Structures are given as C-alpha cells and as structure tokens.
A = this chain, B = another copy of it.
Amino acid sequence: MEFTLKQIASLINGTIEGNPDLLVQHFVKIEENTPGGITFLANLKYEPYFYKTQASAVIVSNGFEPKKAIDAALIRVENPEVAVATLLKEYEKFTQKIRIGIEQPSLVGASTTYGNDVYIGAFAHIGEHCKIGNNVKIYPQVWIDDNVVIGDNSIIHAGAKIYKKTIIGQNCVLFANVVVGGDGFGFARSQNGIYERTPQLGNVVIEDHVSIGSNSTIDRATLSNESTIIRRGVKIDNLVQIAHNVEIGRNSVIAAQAGIAGSTKIGEECRFGGQVGIAGHIKVANRTEAGGQTGITSSVEEPGLKLNGTPHMKIKDNLRSLAIFRRLPALEKKIASLEKLLKDILDTK
C-alpha cells in the first residue's frame, strides 16, 4: 500500500512542509533509522535521531522547532502520538479481514438477540436471554452464559469465557481466553477449619471503551445487588486479576500481571505498572501511579501520587531509602568505627 503525504495529512489534520505528492509505504521508528517510509517524533528524547533520519517524512508537533533543517518532509500535527495511532488504525482497516455471519457449528440460545453485522465464530456457545449489539464480533470457542449484554462494536476474542449477567458496553475488546464473571474468592471458615464456599450472586459491569488483555480474570461481585465495575476507558493488560466487588475508575491503565484484591476502589486515570499488587478493602485516589511490583497495602487518599515499593511509599522517598539500603554494609561499618572511636575516648578518659 502506498499513500501520498497529502492523503496522510488529511487523515490526521496535519500541515505539510515538503512535497505533498511524495509517496510513502510503511511506518518506521525514528531510532531505527531505516531508509524511506514515514516516521514520527513524539518524545523529545528521540530528537537526536530526527537530525539523522533517512525517512522520507516525519510527523512532528505543531510547536516543534528543529535546530537544523533535514531532508525529510514534515507533517505538523497537534499530537504526533495520537496522529500515529490514527494512521495505524487506517492501515489496519485495509489489512483487516471483515468477519460477519454465524459460523457453524455454534450454539446460540433461542431467546438471545443480536444486531446487524455480527460475527459468531464456530464452536462458540452462547446462552439464553443475551443481548448482543450491532457489529459485535464473537470469535471461535467463546462461551457466554445466560443474560449477558454486549454493546455495539465490542469484540470478544477466541476462547474468552463470560459468566451470567455480565454487562459489557460498546467498543470494548476482550482478548483471548479472558475470563469475566467467575466466582469471587469467598469462603466462610467453619469451626473445624473447613472453608465453605460463599455463593457469589452479583455480576460484572464493564463500561464502554474498555480493553482487557489475554488470560486476565475479573470476578463477579458477592451479593445479588452488587457489581464488580470497570469504568469507561479502562485499559487492562494480560494476566491481570481483578477480584470481586472491585471498582476501577475511568481511564485507569493496569499493566500485565497486576492484581487487585476484593472490594477495593481504584480512582480515575490511575496507572499501575506490571505485577503491582493492591490489597483488598482500600481506596486508591485518582491519578495514582505505581511502579512495577509495587504493593499498595493501604488506602491512598491524596490524588496524583507516584508510588513505589512494598509496602508502597512515595517514589522519591522510596528511592532515597533504597539508595541507602544498597550501602547498608558501608553504613554498618561506619557505625562500628564510630563505636570504636567512642570506646577509645571513654577508655582514655
């Protein structure tokens, strides 16, 4: 596929500095410095690569002022990162297979309804009283229990399992082998040490524009009037665990292998690194950020903090303590020598 800079600029609302009829065929990363194609400069730490680029064109921000001229044409946009995502989406449309129709064999409950342009792959098993919107794509080997609602344009990838009463909004993506709505991990301990399962009668509600990575698990809430809630725009990576009765605020982002224990409420626009663990029954304020492997063990009241370590600390404090942790052996020696000096002073008195 080939596009002119003019075509590209019109897609991303950009201004061309150079030849609008120039043809480009593929995207390259600015730091890789491959000849030809179109590249972009979003993060200014990559600016040195800009001056050496062999690409035919570079997407830059409106405000960017090059320190010297380069051979490549420029396309100026408001936000290069968003522009690139837009372009890649256009490219993806061209290369993407359109799936429509019901493959056989598959099982769909007689009372289940679905909209236009739906795809249901072979070996999918869908229960009764489900409502499936327009343009929903359900891939092979998906299992959906009764009374599930899936909004328009949502995609359920191969092998995902969705338990009863789950509500999924519009434009959501659940990747392969995701499990939504499994039993919360709730047991009552009887006198003899045996754990009796507490029935989990609630559901999971996933709002619009949510993405859930492969093999992640989201448990349903305990009581019948309760929900585990993933708010609009939340992005969840692979192998993430969300326990029963958790609520995750709008546009929060959770990296792979993180886990959130039961009944915890996460604020909006939070960002959690990989393998972060968050204790149960706490609240985490809006815009909290946590580095990889952080353990958030108690409520975070102040919004916008950057956290690190287990148990969590403000990242600046944590890094200071960690720096000293590294030189503890030297510190211990120093204390020993102070002790000795002091003993000498006392002895000679």
Contact = CB atoms under 8 A, between A and B. Distances in A.
Interface string A209-230: 1010111010100011100000
Nearest to A245: B29
Interface in A64-113: 79, 81-82, 84-86, 88-89, 91-92, 95, 97, 103, 105, 107
Contacts of A28: 223, 225
- Which residue among A82, A274, A325 has the maximum number of chain B CB atoms within 10 Å of its CB? A274
A196 B85 contact: yes
Interface in A259-298: 259, 261, 268-269, 274-275, 277, 279, 292-293, 295, 297
A293 B259 CA distance: 11
Contact of A217 (B161, B185, B214): B214
Given A213-B217, A277-B293, A338-B338, A325 B326 contact: no
B27 A224 contact: yes
A137 interface: no
A97 B223 CA distance: 18
B326 A313 contact: yes
A225 B157 CA distance: 24
Contact of A338 (B297, B326, B342): B342
A121 interface: yes
A196 B250 CA distance: 13
Contact of A241 (B225, B274, B339): B274
A299 B105 CA distance: 50
B190 A161 contact: no
B342 A342 contact: yes
Q: Give the 8 A-B residue pairs with the shortest CB-CB distance, closest first.
A: A143-B158, A161-B176, A179-B214, A88-B199, A125-B140, A92-B199, A85-B188, A324-B328
